Amino acid sequence: MAYCSINEMQKALAGSMFANRPDAKKAAGRALGAMLEVITFYLLKDYGLVTNIAIERSLKEYANESVGHNVEFTLHASAKIGWVPRPANGQMTAKTVNSELELLSEHIIDEQFKEKDNRPFRRDGFIKNAATLYEGTNEHGEDVIINAYPDTEHGTADICQLQSKPFAMFECKRVGVEEGMKKGPQTIEKAKQGAYVALAASKLQKFRRSDGKQMGILEKRDGSYLIKPYDEMLQTIIDDLDPSELDGIVLTVGVISDHGNWFSSDRKNKETQVLSDAYDWLLFLTDDGLAAFIQEVLLGGDASMNDVRDAFRQSTIEKNAKFTKTILPANADRALTRYFAQNRDRIASWFNIITPAGGTLDQLFGMLKRIAERE
């Protein structure tokens, strides 16, 4: 089944899976927004960055830590400190992790760490991705968090220590279209919100010359300033900057979807221009790409996607949805992980890179990996 736009697909979902909701189209729109976040998460996972991820963690403004903003994903320098097997009862919590690590003599979480959340991150066949178990200070005096990353292929969980300060952030933006409108009425407000966060997050700042060229300025540890055209500055950070200067630099990535909100024909709307000027990388998930994911994974007949399909359908019935970027059935996670691994090149073709011009997903994730290794 083909749809001429994501708006048409939203209407179709509203008339089927979400027909029992008071505002069916709005519920279907929220589901599409959730799928954008799910796709982004599994993209990060497929490119080998899963153990760098924190989900919905407050991102502090640079040099203004009294103000924080929740974003979908932040990426942090990460070191594996151990792994834990699945307990006999299938339930994993912060306390069981600490006990298992101590038994395995791999790491003991001491009194410097405060338990953040002891709710199970694996229970009754469900997992919680990137669950933060503890926060504290490591032996070097650095603020860190300890996260659990369930490995549903092997039934275990990797336990990693992450630097509290991120080196990158991902934020997803999708705005629904009301009947009779050409684009979402809140699209420009969402764009401004995203742009503000992107511009305030990093030590690397942007400004324009009088000829309109975008420049970057970076304050170095000795108080001097590095000023270059912005694209050159990003490459300098990756290739030449001393690792001691990386602290406070946050690479900003925006992911948007739904053609009608961000483009008129093949031209950027003002909203897209606002975001592309603010983010270091701006990715557009095409209507065809999102439609392919919805049809193949959530609506199609491929038996390998049955667990994902069942979880999605169940989440449309229950108020407490258990199919999100954070919580989903272990079997669905396993199926999605395989789907992204088997379709990497095709999934990459679903995305248009708005900023930087000529960029590719391989370049973006290669850049992120190099930063993670240098942190």
Name residue 157's beta-bridge partners. 84, 150
Residue 356: cis peptide before it, omega within 30 degrees of 0: yes
* 256 φ, ψ (degrees, to nearest 5): -125, 160
First to last CA, the chain: 46
Q: Among 28-32, 280-284, 338-342, which stretch is predicted with the lowest mean pLDDT?
A: 28-32
Q: Judge whether 254 and 352 are in contact, CB under 8 Å.
A: no
**Paired sense of beta strands 267-268 and 131-137, if any:** unpaired
In this prediction, what percent of the chain has a pLDDT beyond 90? 62
Q: Are strands 251-257 and 281-285 parallel, antiparallel or unpaired?
A: parallel
Domain ranges of the chain: 77-164
Reported as a single tens digit per residue, the pLDDT across 73-108 is 999 999 999 899 877 677 899 988 888 887 655 566
Q: Average the pLDDT over 108-114 and give the result.
A: 77
Q: Is the pLDDT of residue 56 over 50?
A: yes
In Å, what is the CA distance from 76 to each residue of 147, 159, 330, 361, 375?
11, 14, 24, 19, 9
User: Which single residue is written with the structure tokens 């933006």?
Assistant: 173
Q: What value does the mean pLDDT of the chain take?
A: 89
Distance CA 82, CA 79 (A): 9
Residue 175 has pLDDT above 50, yes or no: yes
pLDDT digits (tens, 9 = 90+) for 203-213: 999 999 999 99
φ/ψ region of 137 (left if φ > 0, alpha if ψ in -120 to 50, else beta) reads beta
CA distance 112 to 268: 50
Given this model, what pLDDT does residue 29 score? 79
152 Rama sector, left if φ>0, alpha if ψ -120 to 50, beta otherwise: alpha
CA pair distance 255, 240, nearest whole angstrom: 28
**DSSP state letter for 92:** B
Instruction: Tell me the C-alpha distance between 148 and 36, whole Å.
Output: 23
**3-state SS class at 83:** strand
- The secondary element (H helix, E strand) that includes residue 267 is strand 267-268
pLDDT of 316 over the 80 cut: no
Strands of 156-163's sheet, edge to edge?
A: 78-84, 156-163, 143-151, 131-137, 113-115
The two most distant CA atoms of the chain are separated, in Å, by 66
pLDDT score, position 177: 62
Residue 250 CB coordination number (10 Å): 24
Q: Which residue in 184, 170, 172 sits closest to 6, CA to CA?
A: 184
**280: how many CB neighbours lie within 10 A of its CB?**
27
What is the C-alpha to C-alpha distance for residues 278 and 214, in angstroms, rounded to an integer?
10
pLDDT, residue 117, reads 87
Q: What's the pLDDT at 335? A: 97
**pLDDT tens-digit profile of 128-152?**
999 999 999 988 888 999 999 999 9
Residue 219 phi/psi, 5-degree rounding, is -80, 125
DSSP 327-345: EEEHHHHHHHHHHHHHTHH
pLDDT for residue 59 is more than 90: yes
pLDDT at residue 5 is higher than 80: no
**Count of positions (residues) in the chain:** 375
* Overall average pLDDT of the 65-69 stretch: 95
What is the H or E stretch that residue 227 is in? Answer: strand 225-229
Supply 172's token pair: 């997803």
User: For position 268, what pLDDT does the model report?
Assistant: 87
